[in-house]
Structure 1
Amino acid sequence: MRYITLALLLVSCNAMAGDMATRVAAGNMAMATAEGQAYDRSLAPAIQSAMMVCAPPGQPVDRFVLVGDIDTAGGLSRVAVEPATPLSRCFAEKLSAQPLPVLPRAPRGTGAYPLTVEMDVTQ
């Protein structure tokens, strides 16, 4: 019975990793456009605000990745972080709680803008 549980856990982890990689790639593709780069720059104050609460200056920051979907009104949903640490979960909570800039338009065929934030702060 233990082997079945372990096998199911491994399958679940692999599926989540694949979904995360797909979502990171979608966010990176959206940011690769001129419109995406401009929108990404408009997110900087919200990202900085969330990080200041979760990691005050001088506190070490480990690398993490956040993915989410921004709706046309600027709401963030379907948020996931990897790895899930106290810092990354705090960042996800604070970023999700604030209104983000309204999208210029969602990518074709979707109702949301795929967001990827790759946090890697070096001191």
Structure 2
Amino acid sequence: VKEYDLSVFTYWSLAAGFLTGKYRNEDDLKKSARGEGVRKYLDEKGLNVLKALDEISAKYETTQASIALAWLLANPLVTAPIVSATSESQLKTLFAAPELKLSSEDIELLNKVSQ
């Protein structure tokens, strides 16, 4: 993408809700129709990403989803993360993301645990 000066529109920016912290174990998959679609993220890597999102969201006093989106927005190769909302509270979470300026340490942590 960088080599050809392209941009990225991330389609599953919140990994079907996984990066909101809603799904943390097998029982959580029953919370919605999308639950089964996030099963693939319930592994060591996915849980490490959630742990990092938990830490950073506590630091900024915001939601995991806002941090996940701010992380994408901090990536110069990402033009726009595509997201959807089904409630007013979800909209507030989405609107908070562009206001967040994550530290380089926070971005580095998220990059590391997501590799």
TM-score bracket relative to the smaller structure: 0.3 to 0.5
- Pick the structure with more strand per residue: 1
**Bigger-Rg structure (1/2):** 1
Alignment TM-score, normalising by the size of structure 1: 0.37
